Amino acid sequence: MSLRASESTEVPTIGLGSPPVRRPLQDLLFGATGSLLQQFSRYLVVGGVAFVVDFGLLYVLTEFAGLHYLISAAIAFLFGLLTNYWLSRHWVFNRRTLNNVAMEFVVFAGIGIAGLGLNEAILWFAQEKIHIHYMIAKAISAAIILVWNFGARKAALFR
């Protein structure tokens, strides 16, 4: 079946000559990230993906590979950091403070390493001093570090 010249496959727009009406969800997911709300919303998704990588690897390395939970946490955190960097750079922040990608990653990783130090301290304190299971401590730590990472990276790299 073919279309006649008078038939169109375009989505109708509202008003004559007006641009197509975009849905808020479409803007949030695919539009430019000019607003802090859009950036933070996307960063929550990115943080969630990075958390799954980090949390899953922490469990696998500790429970199946037999590594100490603090060593597993450091390794898993680094994989989560790489996931977070790639997704943040390509989907969350569309403005750059630094034009040099290598330097941008160094600053991004430096902020992440500060987060890693905080992560290790929270895990150690929760596990050793108040006897919370390391996986529960990781979930608490992740929530705190999410706020730290977003604020620091937004201020330093993606203004």
Share of the chain above pLDDT 70, in %: 79
In the chain, helix, strand, coil percent, each to 5?
Answer: 70, 0, 30
Angle at 42 between CA 41 and CA 43, to 5 degrees: 90
Chain-centre distance for alpha carbon 22: 25
Share of the chain above pLDDT 90, in %: 48
What does pLDDT average to over the chain? 83
Region 22-50: mean pLDDT is 78
Could you tell me the residue ranges of all domains in the chain? 34-156
Q: Which tokens is 155 given? A: 């201020």
Global pTM exceeds 0.75: no
What are the pLDDT digits (tens) for 101-159?
899 899 989 999 999 999 999 999 999 999 999 999 999 999 999 889 888 988 888 77
pLDDT computed for residue 72 by the predictor: 97
Q: Which of 5-14, 23-32, 140-149 has the lowest mean pLDDT?
A: 5-14
pLDDT computed for residue 14 by the predictor: 45
- What angle do the packed helices 134-156 and 69-87 form, to 10 degrees? 40
Q: Which residue has the tokens 């630094």?
A: 98
43 pLDDT band (50/70/90 cuts)?
Answer: confident
Question: Is residue 20 packed enough to be buried (19+ CB in 10 Å), middle (13-18) or exposed (0-12)?
Answer: exposed
